[in-house]
Structure 1
């Protein structure tokens, strides 16, 4: 391990801090949104992090991956559980491309 993801997380934290200084209202709103997703505790921390990782993959967000991979591990997610969540993300992302391909052909036909 060369520390790539740890370094990415450190850089992310620094950059987010810089952004927060430049635009405190948006940074605060984003932080409050994240807090709100955990507020009613319907999902346990592990499930929350597994969903976050699946979404991170589908949105191709390295910052999200670096933030949520460690959080998932800390919340007790096993490598197998992470892989299962990522498998769902892969299936859904391919499914989304399939659905949007059908929609694109529909748009083409309509035009």
Structure 2
């Protein structure tokens, strides 16, 4: 079940840019909310991205999984931290989270290879 997660990430980024041109107020507001929500505070940006990834897995949003694996890595999350996040998502989401956890693991593997 191999997908090209780097391509998926880039495609989503481009589509969000197109959407921003069509509904700029909404997308600018969403972008500002994402930035503000993921800034370092009592929780680090890395921790917040890991939380977002766990939620993405449990709600079964492939696009969200791709984005938050990517962003967690950029925020400094290690492979081990992402795998533990997948484990917690499985705890909270059961069988479906195993399937989407596999998606996250596959995305992680691809992004880590790209960075090396």
Distance 1:89 1:57 in 2: 6
Tell me how far 1:61 sits from its aligned partner.
Answer: 1.5
Is 1:82 aligned to 2:82, yes or no?
A: yes
Instruction: Classify the secondary structure of the residue corresponding to 1:42.
Output: coil
Q: Who is 2:49 aligned against?
A: 49
Gaps of 5+ in 2: 95-116
Tell me whether 1:36 sits opposite 2:7 in the alignment.
Answer: no
Q: Tell me, in whole angstroms, the C-alpha distance in 1 between the residues paired with 2:50 and 2:5.
A: 17
Consecutive aligned runs of 4 or more in structure 1 exceeding 3 Å deviation: none
Is residue 2:32 matched to residue 1:10? no
Does the Cα contact within 8 Å between 2:57 and 2:65 map onto a contact in 1? yes
The alpha-carbon deviation at position 3 of structure 1 amounts to: 7.0
How many correspondences in the alignment?
93
Structure 1 residues 75 and 38: alpha-carbon distance in aligned structure 2, compared to 1, 3 A threshold: closer
Residue 52 of structure 1 and its aligned partner are, at CA, apart by: 1.3
TM-score with structure 1 setting the length: 0.74
Change (3 A) 1:84 1:6: same
Distance 1:87 1:21 in 2: 38
Q: What's the TM-score, normalizing by structure 2?
A: 0.71
The whole-number CA distance in structure 2 between the counterparts of 1:4 and 1:40 is 30
